[in-house]
Amino acid sequence: MTDLDTFRLETRAWLEENCPPSMREPVRSDEDVCWGGRNYRPANPEQKQWLDRMATRGWTVPDWPKEYGGGGLSPEETKVLRSEMARIRARNPLNSFGISMLGPALLKYGTEEQKLEHLPPIARGEIRWCQGYSEPNAGSDLAALATSAESDGDDYIVNGQKVWTSYADKADWIFCLVRTSKESKQGGISFLLFDMKTPGVSTKPILLISGYSPFCETFFDNVRVPKRNRVHEENRGWDVAKYLLGHEREMISGMGLASSGRNPLIEGAIATVGLDHDGRLADPLLRAQIAQFEVRAHAFGAMSERFIDELKHGRAHPAQPSMMKYYGTELNKQRHELMMAAGGSDALEWESERSNGGAPARAWLRTKANSIEGGTSEVQLNIVAKRILELPGA
Amino acid sequence: MPLFLNDEQTMLRDTARDFVADAAPVSHLRSLRDADDPTGFSRDLWKQFAEMGFIGILIPDDQGGLGLGHVEAGVVLEEIGRNLSPSPFLTTAVAAVEALRGTPHAERWFPGIVEGSTVAALAIDERAKHGDGVGLRAERSGNGFRLSGAKQFVTHGHVADLLIVAARTAGSDADEQGVTLFAVEKGAAGLSASPERLTDSSIAARLQFEGVEVTADAVIGEVDAGRDPLNRLLRAGRTGASAEMLGVGAGAMDMTMGYLKERKQFGTVIGSYQALQHRAAHLYSEMEVARAAVLKAQQMLDAAKNDGADENADHAVSVAKAMSGAATTLSVQEGIQMHGGIGMTDEYDIGFYMKRQRVLAEMFGDANYHADRIARMAGY
């Protein structure tokens, strides 16, 4: 038996014993997702228990080094852990922009002090982060951002506005792109970290077509940020931003994955349309559409496995996250279109208890942002065309 | 096992890429077609495949082969696809070898297959669309069987030394059980073949079986339990066809990307136009996803060979065939459209890619067949 086989058996046994039963149920609503943070209120005691048990082993961030709260696992061991979690359908113990976005950037660009200060609280789910990137006049053209950071001794004074800041009203800290020089567009940007409780920071939720307000406008009015909270050199923040966007795209691309086992799309269609005497979905055109979709969703599952393997072994093309983001988000939109078609008029209810407060329709509308946030599909296709296919610039 | 080619597989790919591009580039296919070659492939080329050791990739090393897996077979098939090289690799070295593996027929046929003197063909399909039904009858006759019925789309069927024939020994056409697989030798009395040249210049035969007598030794596996070797054959054939098709799609895409960087209109290369860039990037995405799905199926088949759980691989195989079919259809369609008028000419190679892709997409079930199969496996 290889070391990896031993690790698999031990991991399986540990998960069996430590993953509470309710944490093996599918995620049904936003409440079922644990985001951690200072204001975290567990949906139930088992959710907190699961987070703490995993965090104690460093398994909320299995491949981070142990000194920063991680599990210190190799890429192969991490893959085993993920597959063993998938096997018992264990929920992700902690969803976090700190894990998926800031963490990798800090590991690459942060100072030792910054890593020790920020990474362990991320791993334990104690601090919830938000991302201050987009501005009213800097969307797809992100480097046009104007939020300013003026030098004032050991501090910066930050003024300006961000928009589409996910969960800014719930976050404890922000990682934020600011302009420290007007000399150069990309070369005048710096990357700052600060507490959302700092005087001068205010947020205003934006009501979306889904009826939810996951995004905010975030305002900075003479916000004082110590220079030691700047990641990487002054005016080199674009390096960090780009690196981090790659990780954000990875995370968003994960939305297109086919769920293993129980599949809400198929179950939903069977519930509304029924099966014929041959055991086929009684609506043949809907069945065909679902089947064609499932081919792509399963193939994309293989692509995600391949991408992660290539990434961990340093073989992925640096622009491949753009392809993943494009494909995964377009798939996720298709899935929710099909779920609405499968649900029929049941899925149209907006407030009823039966529809869990309009969950299917609201989730469907939410997915429309997938191909906009983190760089639109069109921007991703531009990047693939230029950096991977090496087609000439327009 | 990471989902990318390991170092040995990458070396094999480089070797196969150089060899196939050198020995059988697209011009080789063109010259066979222009000469109206009646065989459908070059026997000299097939001997060269044997000398390279490629034909025995899936044959165990104690039976004269290389004892490698479907990933390695797929590596060679992809280069065959990229160069549109006519060869019996898919039918003989992949599908037939998997059907015969572990049976007494292996000892009889593997030596000839390895040295490139034996060509096998697959008599599976009875209708224009691939399906699961088997209607060709095999009735008991003395110690053996008498085969009566018809098969079609039998690539190399008019020249094959060995035919793998799916026949019905019990029940009715659509039944799952009651199928028996036979190894029928060339020249059997009552067997006639009508070769038909297909769109891609390959040759497939329509076969007539009029009371063809075979002995009981011709049975592959067990009587009435032929679905086992047939499914082995189909899993390997479908995965192999996906790999070859991936090579066709990749070859077409490379040509198209080259053309986008070279062809000028309105004073600039057409590849600088965003309308084409987005379509090119979308095509790249589809091809990457298809490549991952094919490699996943190959790895699962190889893993299944070790722990015997072949059915787990079945789903991955259908995903691979359906996805590679869809992605490469897009690749050849965009290939012709983006080439414009020159893409419609016989003189230019891109049209050959479209024709070959169409044949491979149909072989062993098209994308719709496999999407339906995935739905049935998931219970809807």
Domain boundaries, chain B: 7-119, 123-220, 227-377
Contact B281 A281 (CB under 8 A): no
Contact A294 B316 (CB under 8 A): no
Q: Is B188 on the interface with A (CB under 8 A)?
A: no
Identify the residue whose tokens are 């691939």.
B130
Q: Give the end-to-end CA distance of chain B in Å, rounded to a whole number.
A: 32
Q: Which of B273, B284, B380 sits opposite A287 (nearest CB)?
A: B380
In this structure, are strands A129-132 and A173-179 parallel, antiparallel, or unpaired? parallel
Helix (H) or strand (E) segment spanning residue B168: strand B162-168
Whether A393 shows a pLDDT value over 90: the answer reads: no
Q: How far does the CA of residue B12 sit from the closest CA of chain A (Å)?
A: 18
Max Cα distance, chain B (Å): 78
Q: What is the pLDDT of residue A28?
A: 73
Contact A299 B319 (CB under 8 A): yes
Tokens of B54: 């490629």
What Å distances lie between residue A2 and A8, A9, A363, B300, CA to CA? 10, 11, 43, 20
Q: Please report, as a single letter, which amino acid is at residue B24.
A: A
Q: What is the pLDDT of residue A246?
A: 77
Q: How far does the CA of residue A60 sit from the closest CA of chain B (Å)?
A: 22
Contact A305 B292 (CB under 8 A): yes
Mean pLDDT, residues B154-176 taken together: 97
Mean pLDDT, residues A118-136 taken together: 96
Q: Is B27 on the interface with A (CB under 8 A)?
A: no
What is chain B's Cα-based Rg? 21
Cα(A285)–Cα(B371) distance, integer angstroms: 13
Q: What is the mean pLDDT of chain B?
A: 96
Cα(B83)–Cα(B16) distance, integer angstroms: 11
Q: What is the pLDDT of residue A230?
A: 98
Task: Sort out which chain A residues have CB atoms less than 8 A from B271's CB and list them.
Answer: 391-392
Pick the CATH number of B123-220 from 3.30.70.270, 3.40.190.10, 1.10.3720.10, 2.40.110.10: 2.40.110.10
Cα(A36)–Cα(A33) distance, integer angstroms: 9
Active site residues of A: 248
Cα(A264)–Cα(A271) distance, integer angstroms: 10
**Interval B273-317: pLDDT, tens:** 999 999 999 999 999 999 999 999 999 999 987 666 566 799 999
Cα(B216)–Cα(B229) distance, integer angstroms: 16
Q: Which of B274, B292, B370 sits opposite A306 (nearest CB)?
A: B292
| Residue B191 near residue B207 (C-beta atoms within 8 A) | yes
CB burial class (10 A; 0-12, 13-18, 19+) of residue B265? exposed
Q: Which of A275, A295, A391 sits opposite B260 (nearest CB)?
A: A391
Q: How far does the CA of residue B239 sit from the closest CA of chain A (Å)?
A: 14
Pick the CATH number of B7-119 from 2.40.420.20, 3.20.20.80, 1.10.540.10, 2.170.150.70: 1.10.540.10
Q: How far does the CA of residue B290 sit from the closest CA of chain A (Å)?
A: 7
Contact A266 B378 (CB under 8 A): yes
Q: What is the pLDDT of residue B307?
A: 66
As a CATH number, domain A257-388 is: 1.20.140.10
| Residue A251 near residue A98 (C-beta atoms within 8 A) | no
Contact B281 A263 (CB under 8 A): no
Q: Is B323 on the interface with A (CB under 8 A)?
A: yes
Q: Is B274 on the interface with A (CB under 8 A)?
A: yes
| Higher per-residue confidence, B276 vs A26 | B276
Q: What is the mean pLDDT of chain A?
A: 92
**Which class in CATH covers the domain with range B227-377?**
mainly alpha
Whether A248 shows a pLDDT value over 80: the answer reads: no
Tokens of B61: 């090393």
What Å distances lie between residue B239 and A234, B14, B77, B165, B245, CA to CA? 53, 21, 10, 20, 10
| Whole-number percent of chain B with pLDDT over 70 | 98
Number of C-beta neighbours around residue B309 at 10 A: 12
Q: What is the pLDDT of residue A30?
A: 73
Q: What is the pLDDT of residue B50?
A: 97
**Interval A46-98: pLDDT, tens:** 999 999 999 999 999 999 999 999 999 998 899 889 889 988 989 999 998 99
Whether B198 shows a pLDDT value over 90: the answer reads: yes
What Å distances lie between residue B310 and A340, B235, B301, B378, CA to CA? 35, 9, 7, 17
DSSP states of A48-59: HHHHHHHHHTTT
Mutation target among B260, B273, B288, B307 for the A interface, most CBs of A within 10 A: B288
Q: Is B77 on the interface with A (CB under 8 A)?
A: no
Q: Which of B3, B257, B326 sits opposite A302 (nearest CB)?
A: B3
Q: Which of B274, B285, B315 sits opposite A384 (nearest CB)?
A: B285
Q: How far does the CA of residue B158 sit from the closest CA of chain A (Å)?
A: 35
Tokens of B172: 């009715």
Q: What is the pLDDT of residue A1?
A: 73
Cα(B157)–Cα(B209) distance, integer angstroms: 13
Q: Which of A291, A323, A385 sits opposite B288 (nearest CB)?
A: A323
Contact B376 A382 (CB under 8 A): no
Contact A281 B380 (CB under 8 A): yes
Contact B380 A275 (CB under 8 A): yes
Binning pLDDT at 50, 70 and 90, where does residue A207 land?
Answer: very high
Mutation target among A74, A389, A390 for the B interface, most CBs of B within 10 A: A389
**Interval B316-374: pLDDT, tens:** 999 999 999 999 999 999 999 999 999 999 999 999 999 999 999 999 999 999 999 99
Closest alpha carbon within chain A to B372: A291
E-state strands within chain A: 129-132, 148-152, 155-166, 173-179, 189-195, 201-206, 215-226, 230-231
Q: Is B303 on the interface with A (CB under 8 A)?
A: no
What Å distances lie between residue B35 and B156, B157, B201, CA to CA? 17, 20, 11
**Interval A213-223: pLDDT, tens:** 889 999 999 99
| Residue A174 near residue A218 (C-beta atoms within 8 A) | yes
Q: Is B354 on the interface with A (CB under 8 A)?
A: no
Cα(A355)–Cα(A96) distance, integer angstroms: 27
As a CATH number, domain A3-95 is: 1.10.540
Binning pLDDT at 50, 70 and 90, where does residue A252 land?
Answer: low
Q: How far does the CA of residue A299 sit from the closest CA of chain B (Å)?
A: 5
Q: How far does the CA of residue A285 sit from the closest CA of chain B (Å)?
A: 12
Q: Is B374 on the interface with A (CB under 8 A)?
A: yes
Domain locations in chain A as residue ranges: 3-95, 129-236, 257-388
Whether A259 shows a pLDDT value over 60: the answer reads: no
Q: What is the pLDDT of residue A253?
A: 63
Whether A262 shows a pLDDT value over 70: the answer reads: no
Q: Which residues contact A112 (CB under 8 A, 6 or more apart)?
A: none
Whether A394 shows a pLDDT value over 60: the answer reads: no
Task: Sort out which chain B residues have CB atoms less than 8 A from A270's CB and list them.
Answer: 380
CB burial class (10 A; 0-12, 13-18, 19+) of residue B34? exposed
Q: How far does the CA of residue B303 sit from the closest CA of chain A (Å)?
A: 15
Contact B380 A306 (CB under 8 A): no
Q: What is the pLDDT of residue A32?
A: 84
Contact B272 A393 (CB under 8 A): yes
Whether A212 shows a pLDDT value over 90: the answer reads: no
Domain covering A129-236 assigned CATH 2.40.110.10 in the classification: yes
Binning pLDDT at 50, 70 and 90, where does residue A308 land?
Answer: confident
**Interval B76-123: pLDDT, tens:** 999 999 999 999 999 999 999 999 999 999 999 999 999 999 999 999
In the DSSP assignment, the letter for residue B52 is T
Q: What is the pLDDT of residue A257?
A: 59
Contact A269 B380 (CB under 8 A): yes
Least confident stretch, A18-27, A42-51, A101-110, A257-266: A257-266
Closest alpha carbon within chain B to A393: B272
CB pairs under 8 A between A and B: 140
Whether A260 shows a pLDDT value over 60: the answer reads: no
